Amino acid sequence: MDDDSNKPGRSQEVESDDWVKQTSLYKEFIAEREEILRHKWLESEKAGQDIGFERALVDWVAKYRTTWRRWRQESASKSDGSQ
């Protein structure tokens, strides 16, 4: 097995990944993905079979995304003390 952790540029690559993971955009993406996966699980249970990620994504976006985003923004504002 190759250990490429000592290759030139590897530490910069890791630092770059860490920086990306700290951005609010990345955090929102991960939170939204978790909601879609939760929706996929619930809808798959109802259907008695796996509905697949794409179907869950389209269904969740159509039904819940706007409300979920509004709720996230309001929650963030309250935790910041903005309201």
Q: Is residue 53 part of a domain?
A: yes
Per-residue confidence (pLDDT) for residue 68, from 0 to 100: 97
43 within some domain: yes
Which pLDDT score, from 0 to 100, does residue 80 have? 73
Residue 14: inside a domain? no
- Mean per-residue pLDDT of the chain: 86
Segment 11-17 shows an average pLDDT of: 68
Residue 41 counted as domain residue: yes
User: Residue 61 falls within a domain, yes or no?
Assistant: yes
10 vs 24, residue with greater confidence: 24
The answer to whether residue 45 is domain-embedded is yes
Beta strands in the chain (DSSP E): none
Q: Is residue 7 part of a domain?
A: no
* Cβ-contact 56, 43 below 8 angstroms: yes
Token pair of 17 as six digits: 């990944």
Residue 59, in any domain of the structure: yes
Select the more confidently predicted residue: 48 or 17: 48
Domain that holds residue 72: 31-76
The span from the CA of 47 to the CA of 30, in Å, is: 25
The Cα–Cα gap between 59 and 36 comes to 9
For the chain, how many structural domains are there in total?
Answer: 1
